[in-house]
Amino acid sequence: MPGFPSLAERILSRKAGRSLRAGQVDEFEIDLALTHEVLGPPTFRTFETLGVPLWNPDRVYVTIDHFVPAATVAQAENNRAIIAAVQRHGITHTGFYDGPSHQTLAESGLAGPGDVVVGTDSHTCTAGALGSFATGIGGTEMAGVLATGKLWLKVPHAISVRLTGSPPTGVSAKDVVLHLLRDLGMDGATYASLEFGGPGVRAMPMDERLVLANMAVELGAKVGLVEVDETTWRYVGREPEPGLDLTLHDGTDYSRRITVELSALEPLCAAPHSPANVRPVADVAGVVIQQAYIGSCTGGRLTDYRSAAQILRHRRVASSVRLIITPASKVIYRAMLAEGLLEIFAAAGAIVEPPGCGPCAGLQAGVLADGETAITASSRNFVGRMGSAGASIYLASPATVAASATTGMITDPRGLLAADEVLR
């Protein structure tokens, strides 16, 4: 007797109109296809060799988010090429220079529970926080999607991650993902649907849920699905769909069940050169840094900046450090302005750059020199990711990054937060 279907099985079965289980292959209609100025131009070039019209210009979302604003002539040419492609095909949904596609897509209401979303970007899985079966694909596959509106997918097996309790001060969703990376490794969820649920998830704001789904790909997962509740429906601006139950079920045959007690977590960081090279921040405290970065589709949301501002409110960025901030959308940028967060960052001496992917992928202002060390709230610390192959990158939560920026060395944020508590 097979168990109750996983979230992935439920979404894909509903889409296919027949009951599908893990391991089965089928062709699926795509609800939304995402591409951007980096991988979009070659994708459109490949698609156009087929000589057919675009399947549905209202189901494609195109952004300019990595080359914002263009830093080289070659980047500017990519931006022109993607704008031209959007015009040629009459594509209606765009996010030009608005912030990382994964955040602007989440804000757009274009993706929601039960949808199948594909994008030419590995962090497309971020939309799993909205209850969408969302995954990254390559340019050639996307060319096929643009032509046919369909893609073959194998239904993944599922791993459940139940969060219980509530996180202590100084610990956030980023630490939860780093904890999972420490336990599972970079291929611990290869091919799987990583399904998050439990009271710890339901208590999280959407900002934090998006972090869990976003870094599912760092664990090798195909999708990172977060169970759907009122927070989800409200965030996507849709009426709850009767009969669409996307909550974790005890009777599901998960290939692995993980429980994380949030109150037991501490601030973590991934040391060079792998996101799975995880250790407590306390173990690497004192490593001298030259750059600190809070931004990207992983770490540039309002919740992230509120926690960073808590540290930076009465402190200054160390003179030996450049702290770079790139909000994950213009909506977030304006909210930061309204809440006084930008004032706090400016007073602390941070460098605030426009909403975009920022220095995360080594493409924009904030590349690292040979021998430099950075701590970042983004998602990858591979060799050469942020510039020189001779640089070292530590991944951590926005609170840890902010704390480290003020001292000039990797610092556990709990010490600074406790000091503030005493002084209050």
Partner 1 sequence: MNITVSGRRWRLGDNLDTDVLFPGSFMTLTGAKADVALSGLAMLLPEIADGFRPGDAIVAGSNFGCGSSREYAAAALKDLGISVILARSFARIFFRNALNIGLPVLEIDRVDLIPDEGPLLVDLTAGTVSGADGSVATGTVLDPFLLDLLRDGGLMPRLRARMASLDTADGRGEHA
The footprint of partner 1 (CB under 8 A) covers: 25, 38-39, 41-42, 46, 49-52, 66, 74-75, 77-78, 81, 119-122, 124, 136-141, 143-144, 147-148, 152, 154, 186-187, 190-191, 220, 222, 274, 276, 361-363, 380, 382-385, 389
Q: Which of these, 341, 187, 169, lies nearest to 262 by C-alpha position?
A: 169
Give 4 or 191: the residue with its C-beta nearer to partner 1: 191
Q: How far is the CB of 155 from partner 1 (least distance, A)?
A: 13
> What crossing angle do the helices spanning 302-312 and 330-339 adopt, rounded to 10°?
40
Residue 257 tokens read as 């069940």
Residue 316 tokens read as 């200054």
Distance separating alpha carbons of residues 424 and 418, to the nearest angstrom:
10
Give 50 or 337: the residue with its C-beta nearer to partner 1: 50
Q: How far is the CB of 80 from partner 1 (least distance, A)?
A: 10
Q: How far is the CB of 344 from partner 1 (least distance, A)?
A: 31
Residue 371 is given by DSSP the state T
Cα distances (Å, whole numbers) of residue 207 to 87, 161, 218, 303: 32, 18, 18, 6
Contacts of 367 (CB under 8 A, 6+ apart): 359, 386, 387, 388
Give 336 or 393: the residue with its C-beta nearer to partner 1: 393
Contact 260, 180 (CB under 8 A): yes
Q: How far is the CB of 332 from partner 1 (least distance, A)?
A: 23
Cα distances (Å, whole numbers) of residue 244 to 239, 309, 424: 11, 39, 47
Distance separating alpha carbons of residues 126 and 136, to the nearest angstrom:
10
Give 38 or 206: the residue with its C-beta nearer to partner 1: 38
Contact 123, 217 (CB under 8 A): yes
Q: How far is the CB of 18 from partner 1 (least distance, A)?
A: 18
Residue 395 is given by DSSP the state E
Q: How far is the CB of 247 from partner 1 (least distance, A)?
A: 26
Give 3 or 220: the residue with its C-beta nearer to partner 1: 220
Give 68 or 312: the residue with its C-beta nearer to partner 1: 68
